[in-house]
Amino acid sequence: MKTFIRFILRTGSRILRVILPRRTHYRLERAAKAAFNEYHKSRLAFQEGTTLRRDAPPPDGASAPRGFGSNPAFVSVENIPAESRDKLVQSGAPLKAQDKEPQTGWLKSATHKKSARIDRDDLAELLAPFIGCDGRDIAPSPQISDELQKHAQKCELVLCCAFTGRHQILEKIIHESLLSDEGPHVRWMIVGSTEEDYEFIKTLSRTTSQVSGFVVENNPLGRKWQTCMHHATRYYDADLYGITGSDDIVSTRLINFIIRRHRENISTDKASAFSPAMYGTLEWLVCHNNVQNGLVPQIIKCSYDYETAFEPLGAGRFYSKAFLEKCNGLIFESDLERLLDDRGFFEVRDRGETLEYFSVEDGPLISVKGNWAQMNSINDFVSATTLTLEEFSFRGYALMGESLSDDTMRYLFRPALISPQLNFYNSSTGFA
């Protein structure tokens, strides 16, 4: 039965993906999966010998998820063996507070909170003190926004990034931006979710004096990103606020181009009135930093098809201060895990604001695909119907050499990592 229902969901999803707008399809797909998961949890509860009760209040400390029908349902876990309880926990069913394993460490206050429905504008609570780029830590509180504004830092560009792990590549991304000619005018707001992330933020803040950040719960990702943007607009008084992923390199060439372009656009009152609300791109480079995937070519140029997509890529977006003030900085939907970029674009479009596109020649945005978990893998790019993929290894290598710092180029193209197509150190010349 489970297999049959899953087949029906997948088939229906593929059909709806063709005939419905992307956002509508995603919301329907999410609702269907939630219903299926609740049905599966109910089945598991019966199999484990638990009692499923309807139309009854949930126990203290437990949330009340929706059952497969219209009434609330919860699973009683009294007198369940430990091994069965572990399976139930993995299924996502709520447990009584006394049945849960005790939490330890600095995440205790967050993980013990009663779950509640998340609104699209909600912000996440900080799990530890905010780390400022000036060496000052700010304790979490309901007045955190006011506290951040008291210590606001002036700059021209702030780059925002939500991450978990990936410290090595993220450190390269941050240092790449700071090595640009306009690097002294660049600041970072990064948000993680673990103790390791917190120590990483603290180290970068102390060594660069241009990085600030904090840690919150990782899910939903939309809330994590929105909290990052909200605190960035409070702590920094900047002309531009950029968005980039934790494995997307914003080249020094692109940093210089965007800052100088916007500086020119707001140079006079007349020009400022018509300056873009957003700078974005429809094309970017993908660079494989992992020979284990066996993929050749190593550098691919991705472009959105103009007939199917005019919304720019989520990474490499730069919003103007004037526009963010109009929409109160609300450019992500806090209750979503996917399609996080749509709201910002729709705000620009619906308000009649302007958007300026840049090309890879202006400055490439480089998505690095390594041996880490990825929201969008290279297989997703290949199967996407809205993309055009172009082999770009040799032209891309030259462009990246002109656009990136020497340190970043050495990191991306170490002889042990690159494919034989560009690995002249190990490839036979035929004359030896």
The C-alpha angle 93, 94, 95, rounded to 5 degrees, equals: 120
Cα distances from 342 to residues 62, 332, 346, 387, in angstroms, run 33, 8, 6, 17
Q: Which two tokens stand for residue 229?
A: 């943007």
Q: Which domains, ranges and CATH numbers included, belong to the chain?
A: 2-100 (no CATH), 130-412 (3.90.550.10)
Residue 340 · residue 222 · CB < 8 Å = yes
Residue 367 · residue 247 · CB < 8 Å = yes
Which pLDDT score, from 0 to 100, does residue 273 have? 73
Q: How many H-runs (helices) and E-runs (strands) does the chain carry? A: 15, 18
Q: Which two tokens stand for residue 290?
A: 């992992």
**Taking the model in full, what pTM does it have?**
0.69
Residue 213 · residue 315 · CB < 8 Å = no
Task: Please identify which residue in the block is written with the tokens 């993995």.
Answer: 90
- Please confirm whether the linkage preceding 297 is cis (ω < 30° from 0): yes
SS3 per residue for 325-376: HHCCCCCCCCCCCCCCCHHHHHHHHHCCCCEEECCCCCCCEEEEECCCCCCC
DSSP 99-148: GSPPP-STTHHHHTSPP-PPPTT--PPPSS-EE-TTS-EE---TTHHHHH
Which pLDDT score, from 0 to 100, does residue 16 have? 63
Which pLDDT score, from 0 to 100, does residue 75 have? 33
Q: What is the Cα gyration radius of the chain?
A: 24
Q: Which of 175, 170, 177, 159 is nearest to 192 (CA)?
A: 170
Cα distances from 380 to residues 255, 294, 302, in angstroms, run 27, 16, 12
The C-alpha angle 352, 328, 218, rounded to 5 degrees, equals: 115
The C-alpha angle 9, 15, 16, rounded to 5 degrees, equals: 85
Q: Please give the Cα distance from 171 to 246 (Å, whole number).
A: 9
pLDDT beneath 50, residues of the chain: 36, 40-41, 43-105, 108-114, 296-297, 372, 417-432
Dihedral angle over CA of 389, 392, 397, 403, nearest 10:
-50
Q: Please give the Cα distance from 394 to 414 (Å, whole number).
A: 16
Alpha-helical regions (H) of 114-244:
144-150, 167-178, 195-208, 221-235
